[in-house]
Each structure stands twice: as structure tokens, then as C-alpha cells.
Structure 1
């Protein structure tokens, strides 16, 4: 697969035509946003839009909603995670979503995790593809059985430290070999381990992404990556004929690879302009031209 991945990502983006309506290019749901963390869900959700998804919803705690709304009028923000009967209020929205992203700015409150137990049960019954990042990874590390026999693709996006906690190792050595018990939870799990060389693998495939980027490690870059992964996964699964040369179980790998390439080039371009003062907001501004360079050959 590693020989074909560069060719496959060229077919990932849906064509921009006049015969589609709003929502067909991706409806993304981001579950995150708490009193302490409002930037993370914004970075993830706005990146999904900037990559090319049509609609991006944020399901957050009440205290975070007004702040997140103030960042951008483009996002559809629902302050539902900490209200009574949260899961029942969220349930009608799930049918609209192509992919669910869990974790950016979610926090680690026990009550929030109880709500996520219910939400993921609803996602399971609706066969919703998942991307899990940040505090969502901590949540899964406490209860990995929440993914056991999950019926749709799941992409986990840990950094090296999160990876070690997730699989119960020191994170050194062959990551795919170390992850076999975790990958065995479900047939559809893909892991994207972020490092100086990103590693992406499932049970059968293993690819790496290097190059680009910079030495600048400002906060929010992982949220940008997870938002891109979510949009790309929606595309990879919605119209599989564009990826006819890729088996279904490897389409999440393709989505992850594309997101890594994009994030690294956005980082490289923004760092060239701003150096040490670069922030993730600067990276988001580079998405358009980075996308054209990678996926449209411009």
C-alpha cells in the first residue's frame, strides 16, 4: 500500500460541481469544549471546514459555547454536553453527521465521560465512523472496551506519550507490534501516532509520513490534524468509487496520511513566514494553498 498511497490521496477530494447541495461534502460533529478548553474544538472544527467539509457542529459544555461561537460564525455550536438528559438531546443530531470527532478540549470530568458513554453507544447503533483525539484518548484508555467490536471505522490520533498510555507500553520500539491487543478490539481500528515521523497502521497496513513541518510545537496543531483527518475520512467513506484501488479497511489509512501531509505542509509554510511566533491560527490560514499543492498539483 505504501507505494500507492501518494496516488490514492489525489483521488480523495470530491470534485466541486454545481449538482450537489449543502452537506454532501461532509457534515462533521466535534465533541469537545469545556470551561478550561475552548480553542481545541474550534481548531478542529474550523479545520474541517477549511479543508472542505460543508458543515461543522461542535457539541460542548455550556460554559464553552459562547466563547467558541465568538471565534467563528461558521460553526454550529450546541451547548449540550453538561445539561440534564444530554444524550437524548444530542441523539437527533447524530443522524446528520458523516463522522464524529471525540476529544478536543473535552476535559476529564467523570460526568462528561458518562455522557460520552451514552453518545458512543448511540454512535455504535448508527454505525458512525469515529476519530478520537486528546481527552478522548484518555477516555478510551480508561475504558478500551467502548471500542470492542465497533462496527465502523475508528481512527485514534495519539502523540507518543498518549500512545504509550493508550496501549500500556513505554512507546518505544515497533508501535504496530505493541498495538496488536488494542487493534484486536475491532476490525476497523486505525492508529495515527504523531511523532517526528508519523506512523499510521491498522492490522494489515503500515505507512509513515515524514518531511515538512518545523521545530515549532505550539498548541493546537494536533487539533488541526484531527479536524483534517475527520473531513478526509468523511470523503474516503462517502464515495468509495474514487478510491477503487484501495480496500475499504485501508481508506482510514489514506485519510490519515492525507491529513498528516497537509498539517506538515501548513506548519512548514506558516513557520517560513512567522518563525518562533507562529501559532496554529497561522497554520489554518495556510490550508488553502497547502491543499492545492498536495492534492491539486498547483
Structure 2
């Protein structure tokens, strides 16, 4: 997993690379700008595209000046540069790149404080105004310029980070930002990209390698880690010759009520398709026909046998999908478990009503709340930064794993580290996805994966299955299709 740096650590990595990498800061900026321009050309290959490059007078603006020069040299003749002279200061690299740009035909206009802003007529805007050093809301001339850019309704590409979006930490809803359809970020994504509040400033991001020292970056203190495909490949255990269904464990799913039997069936199906040797469904008898019709591989576990009896014969237990207001003795089950369960949906609601039970859960239990379930458990939060800090605190305090579900799921571990899962897409925003994830997780636990591995691998595979379907042309990905795609997602780890 890759360490996600803070803005301050990114500057440290720049300085380290310059000091020990035998490269000047100006040459590193040139390398950075070339990486940006290369990706920009892939986004906008038509060299007749007119481009407005908006630059501040710091290093982000220096990047923008270099990008304008590089694009002009590549045949983009319709480039105009605006320089926001809202400060008396300018960085040395900005000054050097401005001198270089003046030797080209690219027209340069300087925007002065309180001056009327010219109309924007270009097809594409490059935002190179402030970069990742911002730690306060935009105001004054900067705010006016950001609003002017957004009101032009042009395709905008941000250099490293949209102006006005903080790289890390709390992101107040009141902050205004330039809205970028695309962000080309340098070497590592910014932590803020993974929070829902970033949606007001950006739609997509790509990361380009600029040659920073990865060993130095990984030595930096920090507990935000980005899950990669290589991590999933490392965790995954290939099936061995002469193995049998007993080799891959017995998963029990305690779920479902008459009105919400589908949740239980989805979780059970995901357990089967994710590879559990045996899957049993503890559901109301009324759901047995539907279960047999959908997944005849799943065994029936009579509901009256639920309280602790026989649970020791299973390898992993999931509790909660579609359970509703059940007559099951959840208190007795949760306090009687000896192995880490997966706790979801209505079982999370039960925990929120009986918070002392959190102290009695087996260590490394996996809780899978969405935002509302999390706030019911641990108190209302007004933003995702505070929500994640609470998740870290509670995971450490109770020795549990909290999977805080969202577009980018936060897997909060008992050591305080947060693994950020990058797979998944908006096409998966439909009912039943959480039930499928629960089934994948309990399946992996049953197969003998350690809870930490199961949490990270399960989230990755769940999102990967959805990504594969979306890449295949589906703009809406139903939960049932994700289940069917899971074996192919697993097989792709072998590639």
C-alpha cells in the first residue's frame, strides 16, 4: 500500500528529491510540467483546442507557465496565459519559467487586484493558481477569479489540485473552489480527493509519476494508505490441488426477514461466489423457497437454532442484512461469539441501541456501516474528516475494524491506520451492494483470511467486480451482477 502524503510531506519529498536526486528544483518543475502536459494531450489531442492557462505567482503557477510553453511547442497554438498578480511575491521557479515563456509566441495577460476580469472564450482552462499549499478559504480577488472561471462553464483541468480545495484536513462546506472536470495530480493523490466534500471541486483525478523518492515517502510518518492491485494479489491465496469444500470453510449468514429476504439472499450468494466452501443461511422458513431458487448451493440453518447453538461449528459469521426487528436474541449471539464476525445493517442498528456491547465483541470484528449507520453508532458528524477521526478512535479503542462505506471506502484498522480502497464506481450506487460486500467478507473469513486481509481484499474485490462490469459498458451495475462477476474479478488477480 502506498502512503498518502500531507501537503507538508509532499514539500518535504520535493526537497529530499532535489537534495539527494541530483536535480535542481527548476528541472524537477520541468519534469513535473512535462508529465502534466503528456496526460493533458491524451485528454485533449486536438491541437486546435484553445487553452487558457490561469497561473498564480507561486510554484503551482510556475508549473502552469511551463505547461503552456510545452504545449505550445507540441503544436497547440491557441494558448493564452493569465497571471493573477494578487500578491507581491513570486517564487524563483515562477520567475524563471515566466522568462522562458516570454521567448515564445504565447500571449500573457496580467490580472491586477480589483481589476475587471476579461471574458473567457477558450475551450479549456488549466487551473494553476494556488496548488496544495492553501489552508484557508478563498477570498477577495482569488474568490472572484475562481467564480469567474466556474461561471464560464468550460472544461477545466487542475494542475495537482483544484484551487480552493485543501489537500488534507477538514474541508468546510463553505469553502469555494474552482471546479475541475479533471485533475492531474503529482506522484500521489491528495488525501482530500477521497472525501465526498471534494465533489464540489472535482470530478476525476489521475496521478502522474514525477520521480520523487518513493523510499523516502514510505519512511514518512502517516497512517493513510492507498490499496493497490499488488496488495490484493499479495493477500489472495490460490487454491491448491487436492483441496475440497472443507478446505475453504463454512460461512453462516444470519439475516433476512419476510419483507427483506433479498438482503439475506444477496449476502449468501456473494459468500458462495467469493469462494466459501460451505455457506449456510439462517433465515425465516418463509424465505427457503426463494433461497433454493436463487442459490441452491446454500444450506438452510433453521432460525430457532440461532442462539449460539452450533455456531462453533462454523468458521465465520455475518449478522444483519435485512434482519429487521427480529425475535433473534442478538445480545446473546454477539456476546457469545468467539471469532470475529461481520456486522452489518440491522445488527449495527442493534449495536447503536446497546453501545456497551461494542466492548464485548471479539477483537478484530468487522463492522460495515454506511454514513447514517456510523452516525447512529458513534454520534452525528457534520463532515467526513471528523467522521473518519472518530472511526480511527473507536477502532483503536475497541480493537475492531470499521469499514466506512462510500465511493472510496475507508478501512479503519485497530492500529489506527486507514486503508483507502480505490475500486468501485458510481454505477454501483444501487440497493443491495452492502449486502454483497458482507457476503464477500464473511466468505473470506471462512476461508481462513485474517480479518485485516479479509477487509482489504474483500473491499477491493467487491469494487473490482463493479469496475469490470462498468468498463464492459454497464452504466448501472445491479448487485446480482456484481455477485456473478466476483469469480472473474478473483481470476484477474492471477494476471
Which TM-score applies when normalising by structure 2?
0.50
Asked if the contact 1:201/1:253 (under 8 Å) is kept, the reply is: no
Alignment partner, residue 137 of structure 2: none
Q: Which residue, out of 5, 12, 19, partners 2:242?
A: 19
- Please give the residue correspondences for 1:166-205 in structure 2 after superposition, counting only pairs within 5 Å: 166-170=377-381, 172=383, 173-179=385-391, 182-183=394-395, 186-187=398-399, 189-204=400-415, 205=417
Question: How far 1:185 sits from its partner (Å)?
Answer: 5.4
Instruction: Give distance in 2, aligned partners of 1:211 and 1:87.
Output: 35
Tell me the equivalent position of 2:452: 253
Distance 1:153 1:43 in 2: 24
| 1:262 and 2:479 matched | no
| CA offset digits 1:201-229 (Å, max 9, x no partner) | 12321111124423342211111111111
Offset from partner CA, 1:96-115 (integer Å, 9 cap, x none): 21111001111123x23xx2
RMSD between aligned residues: 2.4
Q: Judging changes above 3 Å, is the alpha-carbon distance between structure 1 residues 171 and 290 closer, same or farther for their aligned structure 2 residues?
A: farther
Equivalent in 251, 267, 274 of residue 51 of structure 1: 274
CA 168–209 in structure 1, closer or farther in 2 if over 3 Å, else same: same
For residues 152-205 of structure 1, give each alpha carbon's deviation from its aligned partner in whole angstroms, at most 9, with x where no partner exists. Answer: 420001111211112112262233421356335532x00001111110112321
Check whether the contact 1:270–1:286 (CA below 8 A) recurs between aligned residues.
yes
Which of the residues 112, 116, 131 maps onto 2:330? Answer: 116
Contact 1:214 1:267 in 2 (8 A): no
1:100 aligns with 2:298: no
2:294 and 2:244 map into 1 onto residues whose CA distance is 26
CA distance in 1, matches of 2:464, 2:283: 30
SS at match of 1:179: helix
5+ residue gaps, structure 2: 4-224
Equivalent residues of 2:425, 2:467 under 8 A apart? yes
Deviations 1:16-69 (A, max 9, x none): 223333222121010001111111111111111111111101101222233222
Q: Cα–Cα, structure 1 residues 21 and 278, in superposed 2: closer, same or farther, change >3 Å?
A: closer
The TM-score, its normalising length taken from structure 1, stands at 0.81
The answer on 1:158 being equivalent to 2:369 is yes
Matched residue SS, 1:70: helix
Question: 1:139, 1:184 → 2: CA distance?
Answer: 21
Give 1:211-250 correspondences, 5 Å limit. Answer: 211-235=423-447, 237=449
Distance 1:171 1:97, change over 3 A: farther
* Aligned positions, number: 270
- 1:73 maps onto 2:296 in alignment: yes
Cα offset, 1:8, TM superposition: 4.3
Distance in 2, matches of 1:284 and 1:180, equals 30
Worse-superposed segment, 32-41 or 2-11: 2-11
Question: 1:247 aligns to what?
Answer: none
In 1, Cα distance between the equivalents of 2:330 and 2:478? 30
Structure 2 residue aligned with 1:91: 309
Per the alignment, residue 206 of structure 1 pairs with 418
- Counting only pairs closer than 5 Å after superposition, residues 258-297 of structure 1 correspond to structure 2 as 258-273=457-472, 275-276=474-475, 278-293=477-492, 295-297=493-495
Please identify the structure whose Cα radius of gyration is greater.
Answer: 2
Return the alpha-carbon distance in structure 2 between the equivalents of residues 20 and 284 of structure 1: 23
**Equivalence for 2:174:** none
Deviations 1:117-148 (A, max 9, x none): 2222332xxx1220011111111111122231
Q: Measured at CA, do residues 77 and 32 of structure 1 come closer, stay the same or move farther in structure 2, by a change above 3 Å? A: same
Aligned counterparts of 1:145 and 1:74: Cα–Cα separation in 2:
37
